[in-house]
Amino acid sequence: MTASTMHSDSQAIRVLIADDHQLLLDGIATLLQSFPGVQLVGQASDGQQAVRQFTELQPDVTLMDLQMPVMNGLDAIDAIRRLRPHARIIVLTTYKGDALVGRAVHAGACGYLLKSSLRHELLAAIQAVHAGRRYLSPEAEAEMARYASADVLSNRELDVLRLVAQGNSNRETGALLSIKEETVKAHMSTILAKLGAKDRTHAVTIALRRGILDT
């Protein structure tokens, strides 16, 4: 991106965008350039490039997609926060699952915004995060509240559910994890109860929707 395509207001909030979809990058860039007091300083198409551009450009706010090649958004957030612990980062995603929101916030994101609501919420999110406040889209906040008291799956239960999601039977899952088939069945019973699922397929569907399992 050339300097001629960016605002030059020295008092503006300087923003870096990271997303691997060029059409979306272009759309966000156009949207940002219509906002008063916002300066687009750079674009990145993967997490590694985002970290490099963050280091070079030192933006005030970074907009970060989660699903990107080379380095995903969560790893990029972690890398940036190691460089600058107080970096202000807003996650842009199509996923509103509570577990994914939680992982993003735990990694250091200050905001979480659904791509479907960018036109209506992006400016408010940038301004809030730049001012030191946290911003969660209403949909993501509702998901967090909905599952605030839900039981968390243990690491072993996550291992079992991942293998089940890949199509493995209880026996195959047990062999892969070096545990007995009966133990796998016990884990699955606990998983179903914690997720409020009717069966294995329903459990996987819930876990994917909530961001407990990666797509």
pLDDT for 207? 82
- Rg of the chain (C-alpha set): 20
Q: Across residues 84-89, what is the average pLDDT?
A: 93
Mean pLDDT of the chain: 85
Lookup: tokens for 18: 């990271």
pLDDT for 41? 95
189 compared with 142, residue with greater pLDDT: 189
Sign of the Cα pseudo-torsion (121, 123, 126, 130, in order): negative
Angle at CA 91, nearest 5°, toward 85 and 93?
A: 160
pLDDT for 104? 82
pTM more than 0.85: no
Q: Quick one: which of 84, 73, 75, 82 has its CA closest to 112?
A: 73
pLDDT for 39? 93
pLDDT for 95? 72
pLDDT digits (tens, 9 = 90+) for 167-206: 999 999 999 999 998 899 898 888 888 888 888 888 888 8
pLDDT digits (tens, 9 = 90+) for 98-140: 567 777 887 888 988 888 888 889 999 999 999 999 898 887 7
pLDDT digits (tens, 9 = 90+) for 27-48: 999 999 899 999 999 999 999 9
Instruction: Write down the architecture of domain 3-146 according to CATH.
Output: 3-Layer(aba) Sandwich (3.40)
The ranges assigned to domains in the chain are 3-146, 155-210
Question: Are the beta carbons of 161 and 153 closer than 8 angstroms?
Answer: yes
Instruction: Write down the architecture of domain 155-210 according to CATH.
Output: Orthogonal Bundle (1.10)
Quickly state the pLDDT bin for 145 (edges 50, 70, 90). Answer: low
End-to-end CA distance of the chain: 31
3-state secondary structure (DSSP) of residue 119? helix
Q: Rounded to an integer, what distance in angstroms lies between the CA atom of residue 44 and that of residue 160? A: 36
Quickly state the pLDDT bin for 10 (edges 50, 70, 90). Answer: low
Sheet with 135-136: list strands edge to edge: 38-44, 13-18, 61-65, 89-93, 111-114, 135-136
